[in-house]
Amino acid sequence: MSFISIVIRWFQDRELKSRAREHAKFGGNLVEQEVLARLGPRPGWDPNNNLEHGHIAHDLHNRAEIEELEEDLRHEEDEMSHHPSPGALNASLVFLFCAEFVGSSLVARALGLENPEKSIVAALLACFAFFVTFVTVRSALGTSPRPGEVPRRSPWFSLFVVVYAAFVVSVAILRVDETSASEGSSTGVDLASAAVMLFATVGPAAVAESTMRRRAPAAFHTKEIRKLRRRLKEARRAHSRAQNYVDAVARQEAWWDYESGRLRALYEREFRSVRARLTPQPTGATLGQISASGQPAGADRVFLLSKGGSSDEHRRSK
C-alpha cells in the first residue's frame, strides 16, 4: 500500500469516528449505512440475475466445447499426415511454372520475338498452358451434382479438347520448323526433336495439373486445421478470461468483507465509547443509608460483610 493510500485511509477512518461520535450523541447506531456509503453494495457472483455474469458463466463452462475442438483437431491432423505437405506442393507448382515459362520462351523465340516482347509472350503462353490443361482435365473427370453420385462429364469437354489439341499442334509445328531450319537434319530427327520440345513445353502444365489435384485434399485439411486452431484459441481465451473474472470477483468479495469488518469494528468501538461516557451510572448506598428493614444497602452492606460479620451479628451487637 502506498503512502498516499495510507494517508487517505487515515482521514477516512477519522471521519468515520467523527460520524460515530455524532451518532452516539443522538443514540442512533448507523454502522451499516456508513459501511454501505463508503464501500457500496457487496460484490457477488449472480449468473441467474446478472446478464454479464451469465455470459461469463457460459464461457467458464465451455470445457466440453474445448475438448470437442481438440478431438476434431487431432482427427484433421491425422488425416493430414496421409497427404503431401501443401508447402512442398506449392513449391513444386512454382518450379513447374518456371519450367513452363522457359519452354514458352523457346516458342516465343521460334516466332522471332526479342525481349521484352519474348518474356511477355512467354509468361502469357505459360499461364494459358496451365489454364487450358487444368480445365481440360477437370472437364474430362467431371463433377458430381450430389455427394455419392457418379461424376458427369462437362458439356464443354469437347470444346476444351479442341482448344488443347490446337494449342499442342501449334507448338509442335513451331518446334518442328525451328529444329528443321536450324539443324537441317532428317525428318525423323526433326520429328523426334519436335516431340521432345513439345513435351518440354506442354509437360510442365500437365504435371502441374496433377499436382494441383493432389494439393486439393491437402489444402482442404490445412484450411480445416487452421480454422479449428483459431476456434480452439478463441475458446481457450474466453475460458481463461471468464476464470480471471470469477477470481477477480472472489478477490473483491474478500476485500469487501475485510474492509467492512474493519469499518464496523472502528465504528462500534467509537460509538460504544461515547455512549458509555454519556450514559449515567447508578451509585450505591453510603454507610449512613439504611433500608427500612434495618439492612444497609448497596456498597455499605458489602463493606460490613467484608469486615467478617453478618447483618444478624451486627444487630445482636447493637
Amino acid in the structure at residue 291: S
Q: Which of 290 and 174 is assigned the larger pLDDT? A: 174
Residue 118 lies in a domain: yes
Task: Check whether residue 234 and residue 260 sit in a common domain.
Answer: no
Does 223 share its domain with 93?
Answer: yes
Where in the sequence is the domain holding 80, given as residue range(s)?
73-242
- pLDDT exceeds cutoff 90 at 210: no
Grid coordinates belonging to 235 = 475458446
Same structural domain, 195 and 100: yes
130 — pLDDT class (breaks 50, 70, 90): confident
- Residues of the chain with pLDDT > 70, as a percent, come to 73
Sequence-distant contacts of 55-64: CB under 8 A, at least 24 apart: 56/242, 56/245, 56/246, 57/242, 59/238, 59/239, 59/241, 59/242, 60/239, 60/242, 60/243, 60/246, 62/235, 62/238, 62/239, 63/239
Distance CA 4, CA 21 (A): 26
Per-residue confidence at 184, pLDDT binned at 50, 70, 90?
Answer: low
- Average of per-residue pLDDT across 268-288: 72
pLDDT at 293: 44
> Is 312 contained in some domain?
yes
**Tens digit of each residue's pLDDT (9 = 90 or more) over 242-252:** 999 999 999 99
Same domain assignment for residues 126 and 220: yes
Judge if 312 and 210 occupy the same domain.
Answer: no
Give the residue carrying C-alpha cell 512467354: 122
Which pLDDT belongs to residue 5? 83
Stretch among 16-25, 107-116, 285-294 having the lowest mean pLDDT: 285-294
120 & 212 share domain = yes
Give 145's pLDDT tier (boundaries 50, 70, 90). Answer: low
Has residue 68 been placed in a domain?
A: no
Choose the most confident range, by mean pLDDT, from 69-83, 93-107, 110-124. 69-83
The answer to whether residues 225 and 127 belong to one domain is: yes
Q: How many domains does the chain have?
A: 3
9 lies in some domain? yes
Mean pLDDT on 148-153:
60
- Could you tell me if 49 and 77 lie in one domain? no
Residue 42 lies in a domain: yes
Residues 257 and 238 in one domain: no
**Angle formed by the axes of helices 187-278 and 86-110, nearest 10°:** 140
* Residue 66 forms part of a structural domain: no
Question: What is the identity of the amino acid at 58?
Answer: H
Task: Say if 93 falls within a structural domain.
Answer: yes
Asked if 29 and 136 sit in the same domain, the reply is: no
- Do 271 and 183 belong to one domain? no
pTM of the model: 0.52
Collapsing DSSP to helix, strand or coil, 143 comes out as strand
Per-residue pLDDT tens digits for 260-269: 999 999 999 9
- 53 and 102 in a single domain? The answer is no
Q: Count CB atoms within 10 A of the CB of residue 234.
A: 11
Name which residue leads in pLDDT, 154 or 91.
91
In a domain, 248, yes or no: no
Collapse the DSSP code of 296 into the 3-class scheme (helix H, G, I; strand E, B; otherwise coil) and give the result.
Answer: strand
At residue 286 the predicted structure's pLDDT band, cuts being 50, 70 and 90, is very low
pLDDT recorded at residue 256: 92
Contact between 225 and 76 under an 8 Å Cβ cutoff? The reply is: yes
pLDDT at 254: 92
